Amino acid sequence: MKLTWPRNPGEGAWMIPAAYAGLCLFSLATLWSVTEGIHGPYEIMDPGVPKSIFWRQVVWVAIGWGVLLTVRNLPLPWVEQGTPFFYLFCVLLLAVVLVAAPVVQGARRWFDLGPMRLQPSEPAKIAVILVLARLLAAFHTQQKRLLPVGMSLLLAGLPLLLVLREPDLGTSLVFAAIWIVTVFWFGLSWVLLLSLASPLLSAVFSFYAETVAGSPWPWGIYLVVLLVALTRARFRLHVSLALMAANIVTGLIMTFFWEGLKIYQQERILTFFDPARDQLGSGYQAIQSKVAIGSGGLFGTSYLQGTQKGLAFLPERHTDFIFSVVGEELGFIGAMLLVGLYLVIILRGLQIALEARRPFSSLLAIGVVTYFTFHVVVNICITTGLLPVTGLPLPVMSYGGSNMLTSAILLGLLTNVGSRSFET
Amino acid sequence: MPQTRAVQARILRVAILLVFGVIAGNLLVMQVVKHEQYESQSLENRQLRTRIQAPRGRILDRDGRLLADNVYIADITVPNRCLGQAGPDSTLEKLLTWLRLPRYETLDRLAGEQSAGRPRLTLVANAAMPQIAVIEERRRELPGVKVETRSRRRYLDGPLFGHVIGYVGETLPNEIGKGDDPDGYKPGDWIGRGGLEAVLEEHLRGQAGYTLQEVNAVGRVVGRREVELRPVRPGRDVVLTLSKALQDSLGAAMGDNIGCAVALSLPSGEVLAAVSIPCYDPNMFTSGISTKDWQALQSDPGHPFLNRLIQATYPPGSPYKIVTSLTALQLGIAAPGTAYAPCGGAYQLGNRSFRCWKRGGHGALDHTGALVHSCDVFYYQLGLRLSIDQLAVTARLLGLGATTGSPFKGESSGNVPDKAWYDRKFGARGWSRGVMLNNAIGQGELLVTPLQMAVLTGRVATGLADLRPTFVRDPAPASSPGLRALPIDAAHLDWVRRTMRQVVDAGTGTRARVQSIEVAGKTGTSENPHGEDHAWFVCFAPAILPEVAVVVILENGGHGGAVAAPVAGRWLSAYFTQQESPEVVAP
């Protein structure tokens, strides 16, 4: 596949703002439909989601444009200088939220600030992207790579653990994704990365063998494949042995951990992985979302006519499950159009990272690309039932100030880098 | 470094496009390939198909009085899964407290229902208004709890019509989905279990209807329209030939005696009243009979489930002497004035002595006198002059030895033995002409049902060969019997009728007399090897141009003239009183 991307400085500068504008319009149109309820022969009084949600999003779109344009024109050195303070502030907020925030549905995730909620994990995503870029940029000329990688792991790991403690598994995985792609971009070999990640894979296979397959064969096959891969990788013997041992140990720990759980705990985890187990619990969302998207067909039920949305079968239809509404009302064509807009941002972002002159800019750009890729892919996979349900918004589209501001700031940074790719 | 960057970028780009390719492919499968499957699921999601039970047809008596109808009751039901949820805050615990239900009893019953595989369990059947009010007030705290109305069968006269009307019960698991209705029986439907409820099931049942309503995620109806997919077709009413007033009278005349009584309208053969005692109360089955009550009914020594009218067989006893006399007259073997050796209380055949019911003997009697006073010794001698096959032919002409064609299931045909039967039973040489002595007086191997005896009485009274009992006016019987006369000389029948009149006037049946009406009857005391004799009385009235035939049998009652005849007498006087001043019935 040969994609032609703009080569001349400034040639593609319009692409990201245009895609952002497209997403803003998409979001407003979808939220208008969601807050309208249902039209046609079956009219109901109460759409479930109030109209005010739409008007608030109008305000957030306006603010988002202001933020994007402002950040786009900030001098990048200022940003680089301010990074440590911003990072420390965010980590502090994450720590405070664990103590002071109200418990909602078993988790402490945000502060109530009157008109809006402050969810510290959102600015923390920006902070981690920035702090990793700044740290790794400082080491980019040195041959020793393990020291900066180790330090970056600490810097990303601290907010990750704090968020995991809230608990918010989905968001903590965003930090992990940002770290992995950034150190990869920094130059860490992907063979090494996969080796480091292999104990985690071992745990996943062991769990799969224990719960879904009911026999240890999947885990066994994974270990055999790993053994073959290790012999081909030409590591030193003791490294290979240590990796193998780590894989076996994590796999066994997974098994014992699972056996030690109470039935209802196991049930909760299984529902997480297989929503159909509990049709009226969290699995309900996943099933209704799939039904909505599937019933959309090629062209959709047409705008404002989605019945799953209108009859309130779709939960969270203005936030995390907004993609299902697009899928139902605009069908495959509309969904692909939306996915295309994201792809423009992501691929153009990759190009910006590639062309950036300074290491900080390049690493910053790749972090932003990772943020968008991870959020979009995971969110769509959740709504289409490929991944278990965990709260993760669709950037720009999902209703909410935090989501809009984070996206706007990150896109501002990305276009900022892009606009300077010809500078030295 | 720019070199490696380019490679890294290529890896990332390929990975990104791969992942988005998977997303696009998955969307394509969901929205285009499997679109129809999801669309139908979406329809199912929001459309509530409601089945509306058809009201079962009512059952009315011949005058349009209500005998069985439906009442609408409210049940409080909970979802099946409620039972598994423990804890003081569980829905079930709240309900037990608020509705003040006996805890263990209720839980036991629910567990039983759950094991029967019902989707919803009936917590309170036929809930009272205050209980329903509790549910409605606290609806928010009771997710899944419903107040469901449904129809229940009501039998207005309880056990009085029990064996005739029968009863309904809820469908059993093996009956679900069966029936002529395109979608068969559903759990919670009623199905006729006995009597006419079972026989006329398809007529009474009707056809359930369906409606479609738009509902939202929590099951609340939101659409303005309710689409009728199929209209309800109510079950059709059934009109019996029985009369509620006459049935009441017959029940009262019988009292608590175990036995059976039936009255036929003549010459139509319509059954005016029919009771078999004891009888269950059919209302017990419509509210879910308890195991205890069921076992009590099953082990009742009076066998309340036995419909004696058609299922119990007895030796006919002395009324059978009518058959013997008619055979002899028709064959010219004996005339009304024929006399044999006088009755000394017993008859000697070979080395066996056959007793007359009157120990002291009747003395000299002719044929007429022998029937009036039911002299056994005369009939022994007459029987010896007849063949068993000759008797059997007459018995069958008069309706014995075969089912009467009543609509009920399990009707017995009784037994009219003939030569072939004895040969089969005892071997060709295993029996002697001595059996004629027993057969002539209606004992021995003869067995009849009370309804067969009513047919016999009706045929003798009217001379009609095809008189049959009918229980239902609407739906009308498939064919109406013709007016073919019995192949017996009218003079002989007339002699029997006149003699039966003398039985009531001056013979053994005087206690069946009714003021100002001539009654013709015949008493009977059939020997019962297991205990006291059964008391028979068969009669018709008025003796000239008869309107009704009545048959009464009281098990272990003793002498027919003493106990069974008064029952018939009481009913007949009620019948003729009502005929003179019929009650005015609102249509």
B363-386 per-position pLDDT tens digit: 999 999 999 999 999 999 999 999
The answer to whether residue A136 sits within a structural domain is: yes
The answer to whether residue A194 sits within a structural domain is: no
**Which domain, by its residues, includes A401?**
15-186+291-419
pLDDT at position B328 is: 94
Domain spanning B244-286+303-580, CATH architecture = 3-Layer(aba) Sandwich (3.40)
Helix (H) or strand (E) holding B210: strand B209-215
Say whether pLDDT at B570 is over 60.
yes
pLDDT at position B499 is: 95
Q: How confident is the model at residue A57 (pLDDT cuts 50, 70, 90)?
A: very high
Q: Which of A106-110, A294-298, B67-71 has the highest mean pLDDT?
A: B67-71
Give the mean pLDDT of A294-305: 80
* Number of alpha carbons in the 13 Å side-chain half-sphere of residue A393: 19
Question: Could you tell me what percent of chain A has a pLDDT over 90?
Answer: 38
- The ipTM assigned to this model is 0.87
Q: What is the chain B residue with the closest CA to A338?
A: B24
pLDDT at position B146 is: 80
Q: How confident is the model at residue A66 (pLDDT cuts 50, 70, 90)?
A: very high
Q: Cα(A318)–Cα(A234) distance, rounded to whole angstroms?
A: 51
Give the mean pLDDT of B299-311: 91
Flag the least confident range among B17-26, B135-144, B365-374, B505-514. Answer: B135-144
Give the mean pLDDT of B168-179: 79
Query: What topology is assigned to B49-80+92-240 in CATH?
Result: Penicillin-binding protein 2a (Domain 2) (3.90.1310)
Q: How many independent structural domains does chain A possess? A: 1
Strand partners, B354: B347
A142-151 per-position pLDDT tens digit: 777 778 888 9
pLDDT at position A101 is: 79
Flag the least confident range among A286-290, B35-39, B58-62, B257-261. Answer: A286-290
Which A residues in the span 364-393 are in contact with B, Cβ-Cβ below 8 Å? Answer: 366, 369, 373, 377, 380-381, 384, 386
- Domain borders along chain B are 49-80+92-240, 244-286+303-580
**Higher-pLDDT residue of B197, A195:** B197
The CA distances from residue B139 to B47, B132, B183, B406, B562, in Å, are 23, 10, 33, 52, 66
The answer to whether residue A199 sits within a structural domain is: no
Q: How confident is the model at residue B219 (pLDDT cuts 50, 70, 90)?
A: low
CB contact under 8 A, B31 and A327: yes
Rg (CA), chain B: 35
Which residues in chain A have Cβ-Cβ distances shorter than 8 Å to B37?
294
pLDDT at position B587 is: 45
Following DSSP, what letter does each residue of B349-396 receive, concatenated?
ETTEEEE-SSTT--BS-BHHHHHHHT-HHHHHHHHHTS-HHHHHHHHH
First CA to last CA distance, chain A = 31
Residue A382: name the closest of A306, A320, A313, A314 by CA.
Answer: A320
Q: How confident is the model at residue A239 (pLDDT cuts 50, 70, 90)?
A: confident
Give the mean pLDDT of A256-279: 64
Which residues in chain A have Cβ-Cβ distances shorter than 8 Å to B225?
41
CB contact under 8 A, B16 and A185: no
Token look-up 């015949």 returns B522
Q: Cα(A22)–Cα(A12) distance, rounded to whole angstroms?
A: 16
With a CB cutoff of 8 Å and minimum separation 6, the contacts of B177 are: B183, B184, B185
Please count the residues of chain B: 587
Q: Which residue type sits at B164? A: V
B427-484 per-position pLDDT tens digit: 888 888 888 999 999 998 999 999 999 999 999 999 999 999 999 998 888 777 778 9
Of residues A293, A312, A366, nearest to B31 (C-beta)? A293
Which A residues in the span 38-67 are in contact with B, Cβ-Cβ below 8 Å? Answer: 41-44
B439-451 per-position pLDDT tens digit: 999 998 999 999 9
Say whether pLDDT at A1 is over 60.
no
pLDDT at position B101 is: 86
Question: Could you tell me what percent of chain A has a pLDDT over 70?
Answer: 84
Say whether pLDDT at B228 is over 70.
yes
Say whether pLDDT at B579 is over 70.
yes
Question: Could you tell me what percent of chain B has a pLDDT over 90?
Answer: 48
Bond from prior residue into B542 cis (ω within 30 degrees of 0): yes
Average pLDDT for chain A = 83
The answer to whether residue A142 sits within a structural domain is: yes
Which A residues in the span 184-243 are in contact with B, Cβ-Cβ below 8 Å? Answer: 184-185, 187, 190
pTM over 0.80: no
CB contact under 8 A, A384 and B23: yes
B91-149 per-position pLDDT tens digit: 788 888 888 888 888 888 888 777 766 677 888 888 888 888 888 888 777 777 888 88
With a CB cutoff of 8 Å and minimum separation 6, the contacts of B211 are: B49, B50, B52, B226, B227, B228, B229
CB contact under 8 A, A327 and B24: no
Give the mean pLDDT of B240-247: 94
